[in-house]
Structure 1
Amino acid sequence: MIWNNHLLLIFIFTSIISIYSDELSDLNKKFISTYDHARDYLISITNPLIICNGDNVIIIHRGKRYQEQVIPKLYHDLKSISHMPFKIYLTVMFNLGTLSDDNYTELKQYLQDIRSIRNSIQFPTDIQQTQYDIIDLSIEYLETILKTKFIDQTQLNEFCQQARHLFSVNIDLAARAQLDMLDTKIRPWYEERFNDTERNTLKILIMGPKTARYGYIEKTYFYTLLGER
């Protein structure tokens, strides 16, 4: 009887939450609608406006909308290479000691995958070796733990330290690739297509889950372009 009463209370409480949640959701839709109208209106009266959103920028200029890709494939490829040792670490970080059967199977397949990738990747000559170094580090560590079926804390720490150094190189390379393409696409607009008045009234909107903080690549770029501090 006590158990049945407990279930009844859970059902009632859940139903109340559902009712209030639905009401709040409907009410919030009105806010979203008003927000969308306000945003669209502000965009319509702001000229020129550059909106950074993911891989692209949208340029609103004299009533027309233009879109430019500003993050190159190279940027994403460098991230993908850097994620290899990170994926390995995330797989074993809670598996110190004897390697579990599931992780063994997963990492054995992953080793085959990255060996295959190593034979097919193509990067600019001046950065190709760094990518090989990251892949080879990952292959070497995987071969060790798959052979011993054991995750040693000291070995894992050494692997992470070596990977971190290579990460820093790739982070710089990815940032440079992003900045180069961003500048190639934006500077002609700023210097050639915007007139003096438009350059002085230009607004920049950087989209994202969080406010663009100090050091954020796009924010730093536009501060430099506009001569802001």
Structure 2
Amino acid sequence: QTALGAYHQGRQTQFERTSPIIVVAGDELILRRGGADTRERYTPPLYHQLKSIAHLALGIHGAVRPSVGRPVDQALRDRLAALRSKASVVAGRLGELSLTPTQRERQRRFLETSLRFMDGVSAATTVDEAAVREYGRAVVPLLLANATDAARGQLDGLHELVQRWRSQMTPEEWQRLYVIVLGPKTPRAGNVQFEYFAYALGREAVDKRVIYAEGIVDVEGGLRLLATLIADRAAARDLFAEESRLERDFLADGAQAHLLKLFGKTGSD
């Protein structure tokens, strides 16, 4: 058996003994406990309704920003017409959505402001940067209010499910629970699900038992990352007396010394 083969076998053995694990995969949580997986959704419809409406602002900006300072051509007018058509449909169906009166009025204001801006751009000869920013300043407070409501709804759903699962665990299981949050790079800072588990398990668990799997969007990929972290941390503790040593480049120390020499930041050997 090769050295790497022995490592991979040991990693798998250690991982198979790891339980429980929660993987956050978009709208779903997957609980792996005692060799069995349980998968449940936790995000309420309100979250998706508010998120879908808010995406209109990004669509409008994506359409007009490349044309700032340039003539308004037919291609831009066509893109805005398509967005306008969809926004008009949503505006006419706000009464069908599960919104409070305050939320419904907020969506109406956002959609009316967006429709008015698109009409103004389509009627203009050039795209004015000041007008784009004025639109942004007008709708951002509405979008942030939507974000607050969406976050509250998602967190409430997440909390209900996690606490239900926690009630089925022993205290010892909860203390050794690992959480893997799957997601791309851009929403990492302040990620709602990551922050929830940082509160639920304690800040001392961050990056130890609560792990953001940046750039990984599939459950098996997240579990492979966890298996690697568990094995590498055990090896780092035993071999280097530094648990996180294998979470940075193994060559880093020697490379840093040589880089200082290459760029004249230190003396010769």
Give the alignment's TM-score, normalised by structure 1.
0.75
2: distance between equivalents of 1:149 and 1:216? 41
> Does the 8 Å contact 1:43/1:49 carry over to 2?
no
1:39 Cα deviation from its structure 2 partner:
7.3
Instruction: After TM superposition, list the pairs within 5 Å mapping 1:143-162 onto structure 2.
Output: 143-162=119-138
Superposed CA RMSD in Å reads 2.7
1:93 to 2:69 alignment: no
Structure 2: where are the runs of 5+ without partners?
205-269
- Equivalent residue for 2:164? 188
Q: C-alpha deviations, 1:51-98, integer Å up to 9, x for none?
A: 111111110122211001122332222121111122111111121342
> Does the 8 Å contact 1:104/1:146 carry over to 2?
yes
1:103 to 2:79 alignment: no
1: distance between equivalents of 2:157 and 2:143? 21
> Does the 8 Å contact 2:71/2:125 carry over to 1?
yes
- Secondary structure (helix, strand or coil) at the match of 1:150 reads coil
2: distance between equivalents of 1:211 and 1:43? 29
- Equivalent residue for 1:135? 111
Structure 1: where are the runs of 5+ without partners?
1-32
Find 1:216's aligned residue among 191, 198, 216: 191
Higher helix share: 1
- Equivalent residue for 1:173? 149
- Equivalent residue for 2:214? none
- Equivalent residue for 2:23? 51
Find 1:120's aligned residue among 80, 83, 93: 93
Q: Percent identity?
A: 25
2: distance between equivalents of 1:172 and 1:215? 13
Residues 205 and 119 of structure 1, relative CA distance in 2, 3 Å threshold: same
> Does the 8 Å contact 1:104/1:149 carry over to 2?
no
> Does the 8 Å contact 2:60/2:80 carry over to 1?
yes
Kindly indicate whether structure 1 or structure 2 has the higher relative contact order, using CA contacts under 8 Å at least 6 residues apart: 1
